[in-house]
Structure 1
Amino acid sequence: MYANVIVDIEGMSAPGPLTYAVPEALQAAIAIGSYVQVPLGNRQVLGYVVELPPRYEGVARPLSALLHPEPVVNRALLEFAAWMSRRYHASLAETLRCIVPEGLATRLRTLVSLTAVADPEAAAASLARRSASLAALVRLLAARGPIDTRALREQWPGKDLAAALTRLRARGWLKEERRLQSRPVRAREVIAYQATLPAEALAAAAADRERRAPAQARALRLFLEHPQPLPQREAVRLGAPAEALRTLAREGILQAERVTVRRTPWRGSGSSPTAPPPLTQAQTEAIAAIRETLAAGQHDTVLLHGVTASGKTEVYLHAIETVLDQGREAIVLLPEISLTAQVVEVFRGRFGEGVALLHSRLSAGERYDEWQRIRGGEARVVVGPRSALFAPCRRPGLIIMDEEHEPSYKQENSPRYHARQAALERARAEDAVLLLGSATPSVESYTLARQGEYRLVSMPERIPGRTLPTVRVVDLRAGGSIGTPAILSPELREAIADRLQRGEQTILFLNRRGFASFLLCRDCGYTARCPHCSVSLTLHAADRSLRCHHCNHRRPAPATCPQCQGDRLRPFGLGTERVEAEVQACFPTARLLRMDRDTTAAKDAHVRLYRAFRSKEAEILIGTQMVAKGLDFPGVTLVGVVAADAGLNVPDFRAAERTFQLLTQVAGRAGRGDRPGEVLIQTFNPEHYAIVAASQHDFEAFYAREVDFRRELGYPPFGALVNLLATDVDPAAAEARAGRAA
């Protein structure tokens, strides 16, 4: 018996599977999708079994070990990974890493360090003239010693670590060591207690201890209410002291045992059962159309085009109920992790413990437990961002992609997949229905729907009692520059003051984090730039640092100009931190929250911010695009767009579409309760068709202008574009390679 194995070595792309002989002791357990350890040259590496051929004509070395008792990837997902490998020009090992959760199985760690370089600083200096990033790598290796390549990738500011290590290896400066790391995550076991006496005897024992041992009496009454094994931590939380539990166990009244418990990622989110609300006519018709598609039992794609607050989530819930009744599973994709708290509360209220959550902010243990629940069929509804598409569902019948237009569904690192295209392929392979939902569908999806490739279902009105907000466009050309201290126009300041007086909430939107876009010397024109990406560094006021939002390079902001030593360094441009400071200065008693990548970096920070604002712990929420995507705050009656032009001048053919979508989506956060909403859009370009259409809630008008522009220039959906990226530690070599490709 033989096994064809895709070896998993970061930075190395094998041309195809390698064949190994399967030892007799492993033949009964090995299967397609098994995770194994195999020899390669003079070292041991890891890999995935993709085929079990009965014969092999060459000489095959024996497979070393089976690292997990069950296959870590099923056949359907293996075929999906192979499709992604072909489609996105990535190695099969890379695409399989998307599917197998980190921490599930043994990993091969590669530790790198410098060889005996006499003077690392001199070596770095010799490289600095040609490649600052390579010099930075030498200094980092000299300072850190042996370091895991994954940790190195996070700390080194360059872009192509594999190429940089190759350059050091060629000079004889690199020492490499590979170590197998045992599976760090296993099922979690805790001590639990269970009563050994029948209920009557337990009640008598509690009564007997009421006076002489009241703590033990409380514990015994607790086990009258909980006959099943109760984890010690839970018993203590419910009022039974740990010492009382141990005493009762020694006396034989309670029995202590180790039980497996699930690590929960819910963080206290409510899960009380909720009844479906009455449906609108539009919801009823949309649900009927989707159920008809699901009943066919074959692959199809539906585009649900519904205005903000039209009730698309309720349509999703009914569609999921239908597919669960068919004995299949559902995957729900969201554009942002920040949306999971709200969606999980709604979905758990309808489907209880049958909902699983998958995203990168979970701990390795939480991901492991959720992955096991999905694979075992215990959880049949999976919620998460684009990575949830790879959930190990047995028979997915429905894939929902909420806010399908969002660019966050595109992964920037290899494999550079777009979740919409990948979801389309998985749905096709699984004979499942793909349901795309949006108030502002992408031009590509809407064109395919109009051409009949997708089934178009429309919900043109908000649910009763929620009217679309009124929109006012504030022309900033009449009031000076947005670079002046008056970031908020008089109209917007007046509207905020009015909401504060009425006890209502406000959202202020600016799609740029930080305090200022850049720091400029008024004497010599110096601008601080990233040494690796050649882009201006953003000023962050909280720690007075300059940061690159591409590679995360950071350094302290200088007090004087490094170029001319002048003291007239001034911040220019806007960021959410600066808006926050301005609003606090204008309204010193108002309670503010800020939601951007800086404030949500910590685990569960987005959940805490969402709940704090929803429970009205703050009157004003300031944020980037995170606040524009699907969040439901009934208390918000005002949305202010600080700088609507921010994305219009980006060198991207989708700039107008992205601006229209963001403005429409953030406007949709207003008036979702029982009070009407208002939106103020500050702009220097009030005549632009994207801003005009967004202010009028007119998707069709925007689409008509945009699709003509795309057709004329051959942009998608009338043509295809590919972005070729040339990387090298030597800038001249990268430029030459790019020139040859062009």
Structure 2
Amino acid sequence: MYASVIVAISNKNVDRLFTYKIPEHLEDKIQPGSRVFVSFGPRMIQGFVVEVKNDTDLDPSKIKPIQKVMDVYPVLTKELIHLSKKLADYYVERHIKVIEAILPAALKMKSRSVLKLSDDASTIARETFKKFDDEKIDVKLLDMNDLKQLMPFINSKEIIEEKEFSQHTKKKTRRGIESNYLDIKPSSRAVKQIELLELVEESGPLTYEQIEEEGYSIGVINALVDNGFCKKIDILVERDPYEGRVFYQDEKKILTPEQQHAFDKIKKSIDDDTHETFLLHGITGSGKTEVYLQVIEEVLNRGENAIMMVPEIALTPQMVQRFKSRFGDDVAVIHSMLSHGERYDEWRKIREGRARISIGARSNVFAAFQNVGCIIIDEEHESTYKQNERPYYHARLVAKWRAEYYNCPLILGSATPSIESYARSEVGVYQRLELTERPTEQTVPTPEIVSMVKEREDGNTSIISRKLDMKIRDRISKDEQMILLLNRRGYANFLVCQNCGHVPMCPNCDISLTYHKSNNSLMCHYCAYEEPMPTKCGACGEHDLSLRGTGTQKIEEILRDTYNVDVVRMDIDTTRNKGAHEKLLSTFEKENIPILLGTQMIAKGLDFKNVTLVGVLNADTILNLPDFRANERTFQLLTQVSGRAGRGDVEGEVIFQTYNEDHYAIQFAKENDYRSFYLREMEYRKLARYSPYYFHVLFTISSEYQDRVIKAASDIHTVIQKDVSNRSILIGPSPSPIERIQNKYRFQIILKYKSEPELFKVLHELDNKYSKEYQKTQTSLRIDVDPEYIM
């Protein structure tokens, strides 16, 4: 038998399948999706089996054998193998890079699979195991006969497979004891020792914590060890990111007529085993999550699994709370703030069928289920679902492909759907389900617009308008809470010399440095360059330096000084550490902190009953970006954050502070009128020939040498122009909006097209060419299919 293997080398020259012979003793072991060690040139490297076949057209005498197998069970399902190839083709990516994106990081490290006895292994299993080893068996050292002996106990879970990692991730163990299985017992007077020994022999190895929970002291444990009845061991325990958390049962709620209608439509798709994409368009607070929960319950009752996607880590704590309270241990959680070990353990729970629901951000779309009953993407419009590093996949498209494979519904939920999704629902590609009311008597607050131009004309130079100031003081006096949004981190936007006008710039990027007061430094938000705050101008030497603009750090200081209250600030700087999101949100809620201040991460998904005021300190921060989605993102952000107010018994209020009060994105957000915004925005998209009227590909060419960038950009433009039809539109080459990042000059070309059957062939050829070109000139080409940002 032979295996087609993709090797773990990120090089375009070897981005293809290689044929290896499967040794006879491994024929029962190797399946599609298995990780293997193969000889590749002079070295041994890791590979993934993509296909197993009985024969080959190649000369068998020249085919190398597979050397080792790394797992008892394949790490990739057949569906995920198929998906990885589809993704690689569409997003112009190396196949191995996609496979590595699908799997948890722990599996990409040096690791080995070992077999261990489970706690409830039978006597026969223990005796069989001890023929090989007392503690653990290295899977790679087993031959076919060994596996035949062990396989019945592996299938019955009496012998379990574990991973041991040599990088970053270590086994999590706890001290415990196991019986030496002697034929004698402690003295009849040592009642506690006899009881504990019987418990250990009946239950298997126990940790000290488990023993103490049963009421036995450390002295009893030591007596059994000292007298030879038991021995101390390290017991491998599964890493649980929610260990110690208590989740109280959440009862199923009665659906409103609108919710019931949406549920019935989705249930019909589930019952009929048909794939449909539903756009669940519901205003903020309309109960989309309850629909998700009841749909998932329906799926679980059929013996199937569910994938639940959320856009931000900040949303995960409250969403996990709802799902854990409803479904308990059936829920696995996957997001980037988990350690490598925790992510691996959650992934393994999914793969082994011990979890039936996975919740998480973008990478959760690859959850290793083999029987998916529904996929849900909450806040489907969010840009975080698009990966901004290779491979540049969009989770929404991946979810659609997986839902088609399993003939199950895909549910896209949002109060402010992406223009593309809503357009598809208009023409019947997606089925739109509307939720126009909140389940309770709560009304959606109507925001009030405050012109900061008029505030300045009236002599108020503060970032807080007089109207918002009055509302903040009122909420503090009533012991109510508020959310204030400023989508700009740091203390001040930039530093300027009052004498000569010099602004300190990043030496690596064409962008001004942002002042951060917490460490008294100037920082670049693109390359992380940092330098101490200067005492004099770097150009003229004068000391007349002034900070301009305002970020969340400065606002936090102003709020504390002005109102003499505590403030919880949430931005990238305060949420770097593991668990920071949940800790900050918990502090805000449980300690009833008056003000939650943050960037866009606080604009969605949060549900606090005591929040009665939302203030947007500058509604224009996204509006002025040089990107065709700027208006859409402004509307979405304002609408989403407005929905955080008035979710309890007290009616909420919202204030937008802006310098562009007449802009349609702000006016329609005030009216909470998505459809009018959609129709107006579509007019501009059609006029400018942007999505959804056209598909896009963004080419970004970069090099440390400007002349090389210009030459390569011209060459790429010529190739594309020659190979696409005149119905398509090419913009550029031109400098990127930020021309230099990390000491590399950047030019870009935008391709707009409706139908180009040969386009992806051309894209792969360009990628191949510039993969080789990079080796010679260090000039790189980034091809972003369906880009989220044109910047």
Which interval holds the TM-score relative to the shorter structure?
0.7 to 0.9
Identity %: 40
**2:27 maps to what in 1?**
27
- Please tell me whether the aligned partners of residues 269 and 341 of structure 1 are also in contact (alpha carbons under 8 angstroms): no
From 414, 421, 428, give the equivalent of 1:452: 428
1:230-251 residue CA offsets vs partner (Å, 9 max, x unmatched): 5323555787553443335657
Matched, 1:587 2:587: no
Q: Which amino acid aligns with 1:80?
A: L
CA–CA separation in structure 2 for the residues paired with 1:338 and 1:241: 42
Q: Equivalent residue of 1:346, what SS?
A: helix
**Superposition RMSD in Å:** 3.0
Instruction: Tell me the CA shift for residue 722 of structure 1.
Output: 1.5
Aligned counterpart, 1:407: 383
Q: 1:481 to 1:32 in 2, by over 3 A?
A: farther
What CA deviation, in whole Å up to 9, does each residue of 1:92-149 have, x standing for no partner? 01100111111125449xxxxxxxxxxxxxxxxxxxxxxxxxxxxxxxxxxxxxxxxx
Query: In structure 2, how many angstroms separate the alpha carbons of the residues matched to 1:496 and 1:228?
Result: 60
Which range moves more in the overlay, 382-391 or 281-290?
281-290
Counterparts in 2 of 1:534-553, with a 5 A limit? 534-553=510-529
Shift in Å, 1:458:
0.5
The structural deviation recorded for 1:69 is: 2.8
Given residue 9 of structure 2, which amino acid in structure 1 is its aligned partner?
Answer: I
1:513 to 485, 489, 492: 489
Correspondent of 1:478 among 437, 441, 454: 454
Partner of 1:391: 367
What CA distance in whole angstroms lies between the structure 1 residues aligned with 2:458 and 2:229?
A: 73
Question: What amino acid is aligned across from residue 581 of structure 2 in structure 1?
Answer: H
Partner of 1:167: none
Partner of 2:433, secondary structure, is strand
- Structure 1 residue 52 and structure 2 residue 52: aligned? yes
What number of residue pairs does the alignment pair up? 657
Give the counterpart letter for 1:322 in structure 2: E
Which of the numbers 76, 79, 84 marks the counterpart of 2:82? 79
The aligned counterpart of 2:281 is 305
1:501 positional shift: 0.6
Check 1:184–1:683 CA distance in 2 against 1; reply closer, same or farther (3 A cut). closer
> What is the CA–CA distance in structure 2 between the aligned matches of 1:482 and 1:86, rounded to whole Å?
59
Distance 2:170 2:541 in 1: 57
> How far did 1:482 drift?
13
1:297 partner amino acid: D
State the partner residue of 2:42. Answer: 42
The offset of 1:60, in angstroms, is: 2.2
Range with bigger deviation, 312-321 or 246-255: 246-255
1:333-372 alignment, distance < 5 Å:
333-372=309-348
Give, as a single letter, the amino acid of the residue that structure 1 aligns with 2:448: R
Q: 2:572 aligns with which of 577, 597, 608?
A: 597
1:574 corresponds to: 550
The 3 A distance-change label for structure 1 pair 741 and 703 is same
Corresponding residue of 2:673: 698
Q: Could you tell me whether the CA contact under 8 Å between 2:165 and 2:171 is conserved in 1?
A: no
| Structure 2 residue 659 is the aligned partner of structure 1 residue 684 | yes
Using the alignment, how far apart are the partners of 1:235 and 1:567 within structure 2? 67
How far the C-alpha of 1:52 sits from its partner, in A, is 2.4
CA distance in 1, matches of 2:459, 2:70: 59
Query: C-alpha offsets along residues 178-197 of structure 1, whole Å, 9 cap, x if unaligned?
Result: xx984765764534469999
- Is 1:233 the counterpart of 2:234? The answer is no
Q: 1:236 to 1:624 in 2, by over 3 A?
A: farther
- Equivalences for residues 102-251 of structure 1 within 5 A: 102-104=105-107, 106-107=109-110, 182=166, 185=169, 188-192=172-176, 231-236=207-212, 241-247=217-223
What is the match of residue 502 of structure 1?
Answer: 478
1:611 corresponds to which residue? Answer: 586
State which of 642, 651, 654 in structure 1 corresponds to 2:629.
Answer: 654
Moved more, 434-443 or 60-69: 60-69
Aligned to 2:237: 261
Q: For 1:418-433, what aligned pairs fall within 5 Å after superposition?
A: 418-433=394-409
Q: Given the superposition, is the C-alpha separation of residues 426 and 542 from structure 1 closer, same or farther in structure 2, using an over 3 Å criterion?
A: same
State the TM-score, normalizing by the size of structure 1: 0.83
Report whether the alignment pairs 1:63 with 2:90.
no
Distance 1:43 1:194 in 2: 42
- Structure-2 change in CA distance of 1:37 and 1:582 (3 Å): same
Of the candidates 483, 502, 515, which is equivalent to residue 526 of structure 1?
A: 502
CA positional deviation for 1:412: 0.7
The 1:194/1:649 distance shift into structure 2, 3 A limit, reads same
Task: Write the letter of the residue equivalent to 1:68.
Answer: D
- Equivalent residue, structure 2, for 1:7: 7
Higher mean displacement: 452-461 or 558-567: 558-567
Aligned to 2:708: 733
* Correspondent of 1:666 among 632, 641, 649: 641
Provide, for residues 265-316 of structure 1, a one-character-per-residue CA deviation record: whole Å limited to 9, x for no partner.
1154432222112322222222112111211202110000000011110000
Instruction: Find the aligned partners of 2:582 and 2:475 in 1 and give their Cα distance.
Output: 25
* Runs of at least 5 residues in structure 1 that lack an aligned partner in the other structure: 109-179, 210-215
TM normalised by structure 2 equals 0.78
Between 538-547 and 635-644, report the one with greater CA deviation: 538-547
Residue pair 1:447, 1:717 contacting (<8 A) in 2 also: yes
For 2:40, give the aligned amino acid.
L
Within the candidate set 417, 434, 437, 1:461 is matched to 437
The answer on whether the counterparts of 1:509 and 1:622 sit within 8 Å (CA) in structure 2 is: yes
Inter-partner Cα distance in structure 2 for 1:256 and 1:557: 56
Shift of 1:585: 1.6
Q: Tell me whether 1:437 sits opposite 2:422 in the alignment.
A: no
Kindly indicate whether the alpha-carbon contact (under 8 Å) linking 1:195 and 1:227 is maintained by their aligned counterparts in 2: no
Distance 1:466 1:254 in 2: 62
The answer as to whether partners of 1:2 and 1:56 remain within 8 angstroms in 2 is no
Distance 2:716 2:402 in 1: 32
SS at match of 1:542: helix
Do the aligned residues in 1 keep the contact of 2:455 with 2:461 (CA within 8 Å)? Answer: no
* Structure 1 residue 227: Cα displacement: 7.7
Read off the aligned partner of 1:697 and give its amino acid letter.
Answer: N
Deviations 1:487-507 (A, max 9, x none): 111111111111111001011
Looking at structure 2, the residues matched to 390 and 3 of structure 1 have their Cα atoms a distance apart, in angstroms, of 24
Q: Give the secondary-structure state (helix, strand or coil) at the position aligned to 2:107.
A: coil
Quickly say closer, same or farther: Cα 1:239–1:643, change in 2 above 3 A.
farther
Q: What CA distance in whole angstroms lies between the structure 1 residues aligned with 2:458 and 2:93? A: 44
- Stretch deviating more after TM superposition (530-539 or 480-489): 480-489
Amino acid of the structure 2 residue aligned with 1:3: A
Tell me the alpha carbon deviations over residues 654-688 of structure 1, each in whole angstroms, 9 at most, x when there is no partner.
11110000000001010111111100110011111
Structure 2 vs 1, CA of residues 525 and 736 (structure 1 numbering), >3 Å: closer, same or farther?
A: farther
| C-alpha separation in 2, matches of 1:273 and 1:193 | 35
How far did 1:465 drift?
Answer: 2.8
The amino acid of 2:465's aligned partner reads: S
